[in-house]
Structure 1
């Protein structure tokens, strides 16, 4: 245990090690920053990790142990970031960020994030610091380009960020409060392609993907950007829950009654680092609307996940002619849908539209092609 507190024993990976390694994850990140030789700073960081005092602000993502290191950890970064001195450490299970004010050591902060099993995409970036609504990231050594873009405006293009020793210039983070008029995300490029990551208030940003569960792809192409835009603001509901990635899956398209065009049904599912606590939103997007509407939400359910990519959800909708309908949609493989309670009706296939009244309540049941039944997400 004493060895874990000795800065001289910190593991420092050579700068080019990742190029010849069979692994592409945090274990091959080199030690970067202008204070990697500051043994006093590193000693303080290790001591606070082992025994944070009452004055230290400690945070940890859900399911992340906050105990001290079992052995000497790996140094990822030590340097000045805005008005702080920052140390990033990795012990194979967790990323740990120690920060202290530039003008002293009082008011230190210690943040933990679970990253076990991180692959190339999941180990692309870590938050270096936040100041005045802006975020700086430290990127993986294999990242060749960084930019910020507004997920709400898929046609607006990306603004390049400078990379200095792997650290990005500051970018505006997603709005924390008030009306959601933009949602800024980090766009990273490497030899394997381009991916988008979003800040959800934790050390490691969450990867954004699109597609049917089990065959998702990074949300980087024009089609994927358009697919995510109406649902960007719903990411705010997934903050601070240890999210590893969020997928948006357009599981059905529904012609609207009274010739009002076609609506999309999208399921957004957040997977967590710890496993469990997954958050699922079924969202409904009508033509011309800026935002999708959350029709149903649930936690700790298999819906919209790779293990059981089934979902059924409904919404009350008012047509331009002033008529109210219960609309419902199931994913592919739904052979029929029925509604009971305040609204009764049924339909073959994966779509249902029943005339009703404002405020009506209904229970939904779907039958799958294999005979199984599913209830409406709620």
Structure 2
């Protein structure tokens, strides 16, 4: 019997390849994660992350035909899928149904299958959503959310599938888009940050799980009839238009009543510090910041922010730096800010442990975001600034009441001076953020802060609290503000990109050795950069090597959760393969000044007295380093 074709069949030429179900199934299984990611990115953001995940899997699994079918003439462009008509067919099916899922329901027409919640897969008792990414992924997702479904599809086909515009036009037309040119033009309005599409933020196959309302489920088990009625009412409420759950905005439905929890969500009980309290306080940190902003008396906004903090709905973007709990406040938190910033309403709280930032668009609560960063034990210096908003590659900070002056400085250009940033009620003018830059690292802007105690630099690492930059030997560090400190940091500023999103509290750069290079090539500098975190663990250490005249330092070794190059163990040893201008290759190694000797084993056997070693070798050789300190203790090479 002749197998049945899939209907509706995609428009194609008479010469389009014909694929059978086995060929399509092989392509679907092999490229399943990519196809699900494509569906997730194209689906309307209004579905919520949990439903988008399940719908993306359902649409991809339903893309398998029942028999032979004509494939699209546009193959995939990435290696491994070139010319595969099976993949081209299933990609087209996934794209078509994902676009259909975003179409509005019509009163006099039956809904399409893709417009209904998926019957399978289903996960009971859990909400599933991809892992949170960084600030760049959040910004891209917000921009994609503002696009139409065809424009999102055009952007994803360009970035994820690497299709040229002519092929994107054809695929969109074949998938049923009426005006592909308009979709391509609309997609041009989003920066081409295509590498971010491969982030875990957009991976519906790598998921986090959170429980649904546990108290409600327990009550449902006790009364099945009452549960059915409650589900019916909730379903009717979810189907209503609007921005969410009434006065709580984007928050999830309330849990069982708890007096302490309800008190924490009462805007009238928020802690508001006197504007002059910091002047007489014995400790100056976030706890003495006054409440600022033009919306500090907006009870409706504050209630929404507190409600979302306690129970964020499925559409709320929640992010937290490593080691930062994201649960609700234990009691009424302190209000640091509530006001309009650029195109958003922003509220910032402090509960003694965390900074919590809530942001929503000025025209509603759709697309609300909730971010957390640890800030416990912050000193006066570390409590100098908090991020208010990111937009168009720029950031604004709210500074402490004791900050007198702010400026913007390029860390890679120590001699270029600082550009003043205007302060308005503690809010800085926009500062170009290095977090948003893509491609080669040509600059690294930092925030320069001046108060009565001096001047210091704070680096934006994609978190709410910027990281303090210091220089000096471990245990004797000082702020990186003077000319010598700026010269120390200049070749290593771009290495800060390796620390984004790790909950970094401060980063110290310390030149621990200077090494004369063979063949009269000058003197190289060995610098150790160590990042301390708010959680007291997960420290990151980089040993970097900088040759004379080189613009950037090269990472020679790295390690995490080690005491090396820190106040507990101010010693470090690292090595690198280096080729001189004369042609030969050398193994170079250096330790801190109290290193008595260095030995290498493996591809190079050599021992040198003192804290530096240079051994002639060949390209690609591997060796192990071991050092002996002046007190007789042995240390291993970093990394």
Same fold (TM over 0.5): yes
Question: Secondary structure of the equivalent of 2:519?
Answer: helix
Counterpart position of 2:359? 99
Counterpart position of 1:352? 613
Please say which structure displays the higher CA radius of gyration: 2
2: CA distance, partners of 1:106 / 1:237 = 32
**TM-score w.r.t. structure 1 length?**
0.99
Counterpart position of 1:54? 314
Question: Secondary structure of the equivalent of 2:537?
Answer: coil
| Higher relative contact order (CA closer than 8 Å, sequence separation 6+) | 1
Counterpart position of 1:71? 331
CA offset digits 1:7-57 (Å, max 9, x no partner): 001010011110111111000000000000101000000000011111110
User: Per-residue deviation at 1:105?
Assistant: 1.0
**Residue 361 in 1 paired to residue 632 in 2?**
no
2: CA distance, partners of 1:106 / 1:173 = 25
Counterpart position of 2:532? 271
Structure 2 unaligned regions, length at least 5: 1-260
Question: Secondary structure of the equivalent of 1:3?
Answer: helix
Counterpart position of 2:596? 335
2: CA distance, partners of 1:130 / 1:216 = 31
Counterpart position of 1:128? 388
User: Per-residue deviation at 1:268?
Assistant: 0.4
| Alignment partner of 1:259 out of 510, 513, 520 | 520
User: Per-residue deviation at 1:176?
Assistant: 3.2
Question: Secondary structure of the equivalent of 1:35?
Answer: coil
More strand by share: 1
Alignment of structure 1 residues 25-44 onto 2, 5 Å: 25-44=285-304
1: CA distance, partners of 2:594 / 2:524 = 19
Counterpart position of 1:223? 484
Counterpart position of 2:452? 191
1: CA distance, partners of 2:385 / 2:504 = 14
Question: Secondary structure of the equivalent of 2:305?
Answer: helix
**C-alpha RMSD over aligned residues:** 0.6
2: CA distance, partners of 1:321 / 1:108 = 59
Alignment length, in residue pairs?
378
Counterpart position of 1:296? 557
2: CA distance, partners of 1:373 / 1:176 = 42
More helix by share: 2
Question: Secondary structure of the equivalent of 1:58?
Answer: strand
Structure 1 unaligned regions, length at least 5: none
2: CA distance, partners of 1:176 / 1:369 = 45
Alignment of structure 1 residues 127-146 onto 2, 5 Å: 127-146=387-406
**Residue 202 in 1 paired to residue 463 in 2?**
yes
**Residue 15 in 1 paired to residue 252 in 2?**
no
**TM-score w.r.t. structure 2 length?**
0.59
Where do 4+ consecutive residues of structure 1 move more than 6 Å?
A: none
2: CA distance, partners of 1:351 / 1:162 = 47
Counterpart position of 1:157? 417
